[in-house]
Structure 1
Amino acid sequence: MSYWMSALPPVEPRAALPGDVDADVAIVGAGYTGLWTAYYLIRADPSLRIVVVEAETAGFGASGRNGGWCSALFPKSVAALARTYGRDRALALNAAMESTVDEVGRVAAEEGIDCDYAKGGTVVLARNPVQLERARHEAASAAEFGIRLDLLSAAEATERVGAAGVVGGTYTPHCAAIQPAKLVRGLADTCERRGIRIYERTPARAVTEGRVETPHGTVRAPIVVRATEGFTPRLPGLRRAMVPVYSLMVATEPLPASFWSSAGLARRETFSDHRYLIIYGQRTADDRLAFGGRGAPYHYGSAIEPSFDREPRVFAELRRVLVELFPALVDAEITHTWGGPLGIARDWMASVGLDPASGLGWAGGYVGDGVGTSNLAGRTLADLIRGVSSELTALPWVGHRSPRWEPEPLRWLGVNASLRLMTGADAAELRTGRPSRRAALMSRVLGA
């Protein structure tokens, strides 16, 4: 169980599907994507019969386990999107993502969902000259597109995040720290209050045109939305649609005011640094540090098992990096460790869409940036399902179809080789003081 979920009062699972039911819209997955879709649909048309089925409980997957960044990050950079779709459409998607950060806060306030929302922005630290050069490049690239990304001096970065060895960084205001489990649980309760039926402990065995087959019965609906993100490979015929890659996290005990006086994060800024192997952190509302990162292996055959949430080697490395950033934490207790899978499409491109011929809709492939992106997906799906043409339905990720991943063992070899490359690149840059050409090339291929 994530720290986020363990911090909430326990609740009994909702009832399972009682048998065959008919609906106007069936949604598979009660995470952010499925619940935001249901929410915006019922807001637009309260007469709709909407059924959500969930294999476990609402927020069991990434929605209740993530780092709590409600950000404007999208898996593909604006520059990469512009190369494919043109500058105007790339900027339209970026603007939509930026406004989504505020939209999540607006809905949370309107619906009385106390999710510890604090829009403090994101600081990405540079902790060596190579990382500082990457920070300069990213800030310059953003400026070319008219996007705000402040280049910070060492003093400016340290003032916001009092980490060791900081030589600079970047800052964007377009991110809010949240308590993700509070958001997803509150969103589920809000949907139910509005008349949406949510059935838990009801895994989908098959998702086909007009039908969701479960062990407890069939949901029949002209529109069926797949909102399963990293768990998508469990569905028949979708083993190669997305790979589940694990991200792991730790949380400290509540930290004293003496620590925060030097560590900063006074506005609960989210933070990372410019290494290749992603790390991410936030100051929680109860003054813990919640800190995570990649590095766990991809498992053969896109396997997903509860035991994969726990990689002692990765947890130890996360603690080491956390103490490296904040040496005062050397004796701090790590009270929670957890993890879970996120979904990655073959071309690193998140997508949302609805096939009008079959009535099958989908969204996902967020590559760990799903807190904000799922809200945009839910609003977009609500328009697509209702046949509304809007600025959202014209965005370049709508209707995108990613190629399938390679069959095994090529998939296992390729994904894990990429993880090793990024880890090795960070070590090589520290050792040589020169940028890694292979890692830079890999980043460009993946969407930088």
Structure 2
Amino acid sequence: MSLVKYGIPLSKDFANGGVSFWYRQIGLPDRRAPLPGPRDYDVAIVGGGYTGLWTAYYLKRADPGLRIAILEREFAGFGASGRNGGWLSAEFAGSRKRHAKARGRQAMIDLQHAMFQAVDEVIAVTRAEGIDAGLHKGGLIHVATNPAQRRRLRAEVADLRAWGYGPDDLRLLDRDEQHERVHVAGALEAAYSPHCARVQPAKLAVGLAAAVERLGVDVFEDTTVTEILPRRGGKAAAVTTRGVVSADYVIRATEGFTANLAGQHRQWLPMNSSMIVTEPLPADVWKHIGWQGNELLGDEAHAYIYAQRTADDRIAIGGRGVPYRFGSRTDRRGATQPQTVAALWRMLVKLFPAAADARVQHAWCGVLGVPRDWCSTVHLDHATGLGWAGGYVGSGVTTTNLAGRTLRDLVLRQETPLTGLPWVGRQVRQWEPEPLRWSGVQLIYALYRAADRHENDRGTTTSPYARLANLISGR
């Protein structure tokens, strides 16, 4: 299906997929050598995205003598780490009440505070390591564009007061400040949090990979891990197409690609998310839009969007599109369906009518990991030597940093405030087998889209369609 039928203005060099715009901007990194054969390490990390890179970074900083390897099927930063919306945000995936059941309300509050601190930790590390990731801490704005969204936004702000958000961490904006920050057409209400920074995702991934190599971590690319095996009287193992890597600990950091591992097909669901980015917008358009503070921007829809004003004055906007492929399949080409490109373009123009003549330069997509209860988790079993972190449900840019520091403490057998957080050691049931899994996800997102249409037309409270979707999904 061609994009021409949708009437979307496209730049002459428009590209769909291949790589993300973030890599198109900086160029793909040179490939590192693959695993040369069977090897033995202290820690083997499967996956070269943010989780794997942060884990290796903090482990090597804490104990320079550790022998650490990262095993990556493509190249470091290939997956969601190089494709995301660039939100270095303190938002955390999953139900706070569900996390609090594990270790109490205060533990969940501590987890939220740890997320606040993780935003600044990432910024500090990039400065210390000389990583130019285009970071700008302008905060995060959520807008409500209909009465149901406004009621939901107010309720969320009130609820978050009980989960560690003080008045300086999150607040509703009055009309003057809302208009001063960014002109969103039809916005009825907005909330602001300072705990978010814009980041160029690919630059962060490339910089982190270089930093861990400087520390002495071996990064093997073009190395496919097919299976992870627990200790059986000796060491744990990562079985690859190029040889077996034995290690005291094997850390699974595969996020949306976890289903590719033997025995992990139903562990985390690979959820698809898509983005488009415009050409740079002229100064007269920005006069209408504002957005001088470079805040990150989201809405309160159920099929929500996420957006940023890039460092070179484009608008990048993303959303779910076609959320899931049958059998947990993933698409390495990164192309976005034409109807999804069109939907994102319509949302961009709806929010920013002044940008209606801007041309789309690039569209792409990627997968993120979703646990059955939609709650992120980090875990290490000293008996088997196996550990993992992930299930970030789209909130991974910051959460991966917290995961890496937590895995460091768990591997080193250190009891710290991080190892006592309620997401540590969570056991989550698997997703249903096919075709139930595919049918359920399609139904859930059809209901969310119906809920948004209902609320946009006449709803003043959250649509019953959304309530049913939440019940089915287990969110």
Question: Is 2:194 the partner of 1:173?
Answer: yes
Contact 2:257/2:369 (8 A) holds in 1 = yes
Q: Residue by residue, what CA displacement relative to the aligned partner does 1:195-248 show, whole Å, maximum 9, x if unpaired? A: 000000001011112111111111111110000000000000000001111000
What is the distance in 1 between the residues matched to 2:29 and 2:257? 23
2:351 is aligned, of 305, 325, 336, to: 325
Contact 1:123/1:161 (8 A) holds in 2 = no
What is the distance in 1 between the residues matched to 2:380 and 2:27? 37
Deviation at residue 377 of structure 1 after TM alignment = 0.3
Aligned twin of 1:93: 111
1:113 is aligned, of 131, 146, 159, to: 131
Question: Is 2:52 the partner of 1:25?
Answer: no
Q: Write out aligned runs for 1:46-445 (5 A).
A: 46-82=64-100, 85-147=103-165, 148-209=169-230, 210-306=236-332, 309-435=335-461, 436-440=463-467, 442-443=469-470
What is the distance in 1 between the residues matched to 2:372 and 2:224? 25
Describe the shift of the 1:298–1:197 C-alpha distance in structure 2 as closer, same or farther (beyond 3 A). Answer: same
Letter in 2 for 1:226: R
What is the distance in 2 between the residues matched to 1:283 and 1:432? 31
What is the distance in 2 between the residues matched to 1:228 and 1:415? 21
What is the distance in 2 between the residues matched to 1:447 and 1:288? 36
Q: Residue by residue, what CA displacement relative to the aligned partner does 1:340-397 show, whole Å, maximum 9, x if unpaired? A: 1111000111100101101101000000100000000000000000111100000000
Contact 1:249/1:337 (8 A) holds in 2 = yes
What is the distance in 2 between the residues matched to 1:124 and 1:318? 17
Letter in 1 for 2:214: R
Q: Residue by residue, what CA displacement relative to the aligned partner does 1:120-175 show, whole Å, maximum 9, x if unpaired? A: 11100111111111111111112234513211233322222211111111111111
What is the distance in 1 between the residues matched to 2:468 and 2:156? 15
Deviation at residue 278 of structure 1 after TM alignment = 1.6
What is the distance in 2 between the residues matched to 1:444 and 1:176? 32
What is the distance in 1 between the residues matched to 2:263 and 2:97? 33
Aligned twin of 1:15: 33
Contact 1:345/1:365 (8 A) holds in 2 = yes
Deviation at residue 441 of structure 1 after TM alignment = 5.2
What is the distance in 1 between the residues matched to 2:460 and 2:468? 14
Contact 1:125/1:157 (8 A) holds in 2 = no
Letter in 1 for 2:133: C
Alignment partner of 2:368: what SS? strand
Greater mean alpha carbon deviation, residues 302-311 or residues 290-299: 302-311
What is the distance in 2 between the residues matched to 1:90 and 1:11? 39
Letter in 1 for 2:419: T
What is the distance in 2 between the residues matched to 1:203 and 1:264? 46
Aligned twin of 2:233: none
Alignment partner of 1:24: what SS? strand
Aligned twin of 2:15: none
What is the distance in 2 between the residues matched to 1:174 and 1:441? 31
Alignment partner of 1:212: what SS? strand
Describe the shift of the 1:265–1:446 C-alpha distance in structure 2 as closer, same or farther (beyond 3 A). Answer: farther
What is the distance in 1 between the residues matched to 2:178 and 2:279? 25
Contact 2:43/2:67 (8 A) holds in 1 = yes
Contact 1:80/1:447 (8 A) holds in 2 = no
Q: Percent identity?
A: 50
Deviation at residue 251 of structure 1 after TM alignment = 0.5
What is the distance in 1 between the residues matched to 2:240 and 2:434? 28
Greater mean alpha carbon deviation, residues 7-16 or residues 63-72: 7-16
Contact 2:226/2:261 (8 A) holds in 1 = yes
5+ residue gaps, structure 1, are none
What is the distance in 2 between the residues matched to 1:281 and 1:157? 16
User: What's the Cα RMSD here?
Assistant: 1.5
Greater mean alpha carbon deviation, residues 158-167 or residues 301-310: 301-310
Give the TM-score taking structure 1 as reference length. 0.97
Contact 2:372/2:474 (8 A) holds in 1 = no
Letter in 2 for 1:4: W
Contact 1:123/1:160 (8 A) holds in 2 = no
Contact 1:75/1:447 (8 A) holds in 2 = no
Describe the shift of the 1:192–1:89 C-alpha distance in structure 2 as closer, same or farther (beyond 3 A). Answer: same
Aligned twin of 2:8: none
Alignment partner of 2:225: what SS? coil
Deviation at residue 446 of structure 1 after TM alignment = 5.8
Deviation at residue 328 of structure 1 after TM alignment = 1.3
What is the distance in 2 between the residues matched to 1:300 and 1:404? 16
5+ residue gaps, structure 2, are 1-18, 231-235
Greater mean alpha carbon deviation, residues 257-266 or residues 237-246: 257-266
